[in-house]
Amino acid sequence: MIRALVAQMSKVQALRTDNTSRDAHPPEEVMAIVDNIKAVVGCIDGLVSDASPHLVFSRLGHAFTILKVLWPKDFEIGSDFHASMPGAYGDEEFDTGLLHDIPAACPKALRRLITDMVISQNAPSITRAQLLVQSWEAAKRPTLTKQFKKVPTFAGALETFSHDLYHRSTDPARRTEQAVSQFQDVMGVIQFCHLVIITQLDAPYEWYCKSTEGHRITSAALGALPSYFSGASLFSRVLALGVGATSAAGMGVTGGIAVLFASTKVISHLLNKHREYLDLSFPGALAVTLQALGLPIAESDDIVEKTLLDRVKQDIASSHTLETIEKWRVKLEEGLKDYPGVKANQWCITPTFFWPKWLFSVAQVAQLRIQLSGKICIGVQGSTEAGKSQMLTVLTGASEDYFKPGSSSLCRTLGIQSYDSSNLGAIFLDSPGFDDQKPEIKYMADVFQELFAIVIIVIPMERTRSEATESALRIAIKLLCDQEDKRPLRILLSQADGLDHHRNNKQKFRDTLRDVKEQFMSRFRQELGENFTTFRQQPFHDGIVCKSEKLEDIVKPFSTHAQMTLDGIGALADCPPKTPCKIERESHFENLCELADAGEIWDIESLRSWLRDLSPSSVPMSSGRVRVYCD
């Protein structure tokens, strides 16, 4: 969902430039959902719309527990921009107890959405005492949109956000205030959708099936089938759609399902200690469903739900019909007759209407995960005016005005720009500068950073003692200290070509480069230790391994200009021979080439080479570093 927001935000920013009036484009063009995210947005809204309202509110408290793990900063009590108190938006006239499980630290925007929805309830209303599956069945299985008039939609949130972004004020103070408010509103809807989907995938046993028992000694096993969530489960984390989704895509199910019922000892402990006995990376309900439908368990490097998706995708379009639901309910019932232990213990398991409905929800989540796995996200963060935008333009081959520099009044630190070319296997994200003082802006940067599969931090080399550089260094150090974060990382000390140099003395520039770099390295060693080592992911054959890296491997002096054209819009390697160079003196150009060849400084070709090693199609193919100077 965050990735969809980024795509929509980038589209609107492309429409609204510094030279464009706020009425240059019609509202329908501004608010139109980007084509390549329409399927994602539609799928999410469909899952929310079709949710069981009874299950939403019966599992609301537990879903909030998971949501808090996924979005911890939003739930910080005392936060200047999210703090709220329970019941702040309540309306006693409409209070049915459904708001009871909203935590005190619930983000303000999310609380408002849930409260407004509850107030808009249609008759006959549901109360906290009527949240059982039997009540849902008796009410003829209403959906969330049938039970409530005001159900937020992701599409609506993106359309509103697009309109507001396009019409933001150009006054810096007012614009920042609007950006913060609008971001909170759209994040509230994202979290609402996430919360609802979690409730539908985390149902109690009785929602899945009805059963009659045989031998009492083993009847506890039935209660274990769908009881798979424990704290912030892996399956719930996957639903963040951009928050760790890339690494989650590699998780699979291993081990034999028959082990579930291998012994009375296993059965008697299964409800509370199933992880001690099962090697399952996805919850038991999914494993039971796969086996009941006679589906093979996925390989460890595959998306587990994809097996289920492949089996049911021909019926997804008609999954709202009673005929389709009944068809798959019968398939589940027939398959469960041969489930391990059923015949021996004389169990009779009858799937409810909800189980096949859940099955299709899982399949649609698989569709979302597959779409996410198509391209990796490469994120570039850095202090304002560190040269990120120019570096990205040259690196990716984007058009001259695609990435707007941070000094622009319309985009400085307030949005994220993305570049998604059909010719490249990666999405490049230019994230808000994290040197801004407002915590709301820093929070926005943190949210977007979770999307990044590869992280590049850009710090201007000439500003060794500035407040912005200090802030950037703190963020870089924080990333390096996080031992759980294995994402590939490079810290680029940008604008290195601007250091003092002499046309007749190459050593002068090299000495200056070494001295300035040492100032940065000294700060890193002071915070991290003299022999600091980190482990970062890298491809190995058909898999991924973690390789140890030192500070020298990660921190690199960098120059965009070293391999950039005179007009500043392209890489020399992407242009015809004898294209004029940005570097003014031939001696300095040659010096930069020699240092880049030796790995003592990085240029655009160095960065492209590193990215190609991680993801071959992520950057344009080129002939390599240009060494012939042209004035």
Concatenated DSSP letters of 356-373? HHHHHHHHHHHHHHHHHT
The predicted structure's pLDDT at residue 151: 97
> Which tokens is 223 given?
């209660």
Question: Is the Cβ–Cβ distance between 425 and 453 less than 8 Å?
Answer: no
- DSSP alpha helix (H) spans, 226-296: 234-238, 245-248, 264-277, 284-292
Q: How big is the CA angle at 361 (ends 355 and 364), to the nearest 5 degrees?
A: 145
Mean pLDDT value across the chain: 80
Give the lowest-confidence range in 173-177, 547-551, 579-583. Answer: 173-177
Give per-residue pLDDT as tens, 226-250.
333 333 333 433 344 333 333 333 3
Greatest mean pLDDT range, 74-88, 164-178, 269-283, 542-556: 542-556
Query: Three-class SS of residue 349?
Result: strand
Measure CA of the first residue to CA of the last residue in the chain; give whole Å. Answer: 47
> Could you give the CA distance from residue 5 to residue 129 in angstroms, rounded to a whole number?
37
Q: DSSP for 536-580?
A: EEEEETTEEEEEEEEHHHHEEEB-SGGGBBTTSSSBGGGS-TTPP
Residue 421 in any domain: the answer is yes
The pLDDT of residue 72 is 84
Residue 337: inside a domain, yes or no? Answer: yes
- What pLDDT score was predicted for residue 71? 85
Residues 285, 244: one domain? Answer: yes
Domain annotation covers residue 263: yes
CA atoms within 13 A on the CB side of 144: 25
Task: Pick the more confident residue, 55 or 304.
Answer: 55
Domain shared by 424 and 548, yes or no: yes
What is the signed CA dihedral for 559, 562, 566, 570, rounded to 10 degrees?
A: -70
Residue 176 and residue 47 share a domain: yes
> Do residues 237 and 382 both lie within one domain?
no
Which contiguous run of DSSP H or E holds residue 455? strand 454-460
CA 532/CA 535 separation, integer angstroms: 10
| Helix ranges, 402-531 (H) | 439-449, 467-481, 506-528
Of residues 453 and 437, more confidence is placed in 453
Q: Distance (Å, rounded) from C-alpha 252 to C-alpha 270?
A: 21
The 3-state DSSP class for residue 411 equals: coil
Q: Which domain holds residue 287?
A: 206-372
User: CA 276 to CA 247: how far, in whole Å?
Assistant: 24
How does residue 527 score in pLDDT terms, banded at 50, 70 and 90? Answer: very high
pLDDT at position 49 over 90: yes
Is 236 in the same domain as 302? yes
Q: Decide: 445 and 434 in contact? Cβ < 8 Å.
A: yes
Q: Pick 45 or 567 by higher pLDDT.
A: 45
Phi first, then psi, for residue 432 (nearest 5°) are -55, 145
* pTM of the predicted protein model: 0.79
- Of the residues 186, 202, 218, the one at which a domain ends: 202
Question: Which range among 243-247, 330-334, 393-397, 473-477 shows the weakest confidence by mean pLDDT?
Answer: 243-247
pLDDT at site 437: 59
Residues 345, 408, single domain; the answer is: no
Counting beta carbons within 10 angstroms of the beta carbon of residue 62, is it exposed (0 to 12), middle (13 to 18) or buried (19 or more)? middle
CATH number at residue 479: 3.40.50.300
Could you give the CA distance from residue 408 to residue 18 in angstroms, rounded to a whole number?
A: 7
With respect to residue 629, please indicate whether it lies within any of the assigned structural domains.
Answer: no
User: What 3-state DSSP class applies to 450?
Assistant: coil
| Domain finish residue from 141, 171, 202 | 202
Q: Are residues 429 and 383 in the same domain?
A: yes
Going from the C-alpha of 267 to that of each of 163, 230, 261, 276, the distances in angstroms are 56, 18, 6, 12
Q: Count other C-beta atoms under 10 Å from residue 155's C-beta.
A: 18
Backbone angles phi, psi at 234, to 5 degrees: -60, -40
Lowest mean pLDDT among 42-56, 282-296, 402-416, 508-522: 402-416
Phi, psi of 545 (to 5 degrees): -125, 165
Contact 492, 416 (CB under 8 A): no
Tell me whether residue 239 is in a domain.
yes
39 residue type, one letter: A
* Residue 271 pLDDT > 60: no
Query: What count of other Cβ atoms lies within 10 Å of the Cβ of residue 414?
Result: 27
272 versus 63: which is more confidently predicted?
Answer: 63
Nearest to 122 by CA among 99, 145, 101: 145
Indicate whether 140 belongs to any domain: yes
Shared domain for 174 and 258, answered yes or no, is: no
Please determine, for residue 374, whether its predicted confidence score (pLDDT) is greater than 80: no
Q: What is the pLDDT of residues 90-143, one digit of tens each?
A: 445 455 689 999 999 999 999 999 999 999 999 899 999 999 999 999 999 999
Look at the alpha carbons of 83, 88, 94, 98 in this order and tell me if their dihedral is positive or negative. Answer: positive
Name the H helices within 382-485.
388-396, 439-449, 467-481
Q: How far apart are CA 396 and CA 163, in angstroms?
A: 29
pLDDT at 81 (0 to 100)? 42
Q: Which residue would you say has higher pLDDT here, 218 or 135?
A: 135
The answer to whether 450 and 244 have CB atoms below 8 angstroms apart is yes
Q: Is the pLDDT of residue 276 over 80?
A: no
**Residue 528 belongs to a domain:** yes
Q: Please, which pLDDT band fits residue 389 given cuts at 50, 70 and 90?
A: confident
- Residue 299 has a pLDDT of 58
Report in angstroms the alpha-carbon separations of 560 from 26, 339, 574, 588, 608.
38, 62, 14, 14, 12
The total of structural domains in the chain comes to 3
Query: Are residues 368 and 401 both part of a single domain?
Result: no
Among residues 152, 186, 202, the one where a domain terminates is 202
Classify residue 494: in a domain, yes or no: yes
Q: Does residue 421 share a domain with residue 306?
A: no
Whether residues 215 and 186 fall in one domain: no
Q: Are 175 and 414 in contact (CB under 8 A)?
A: yes
Three-state SS at 408? coil
Give the whole-angstrom CA distance, residue 399 versus residue 550: 35
Pair type for strands 417-420 and 426-430: antiparallel
pLDDT for 541: 73
> Are 149 and 273 members of one domain?
no
Amino acid at 447: V
Residue 62 CA to residue 227 CA, distance in Å, equals: 13
The whole-number pLDDT of residue 142 equals 96
CB proximity list for 95: less than 8 A, separation 6 or greater: none
Q: Is the pLDDT of residue 268 over 60?
A: no
User: Is the predicted pLDDT of residue 18 greater than 90, yes or no?
Assistant: no
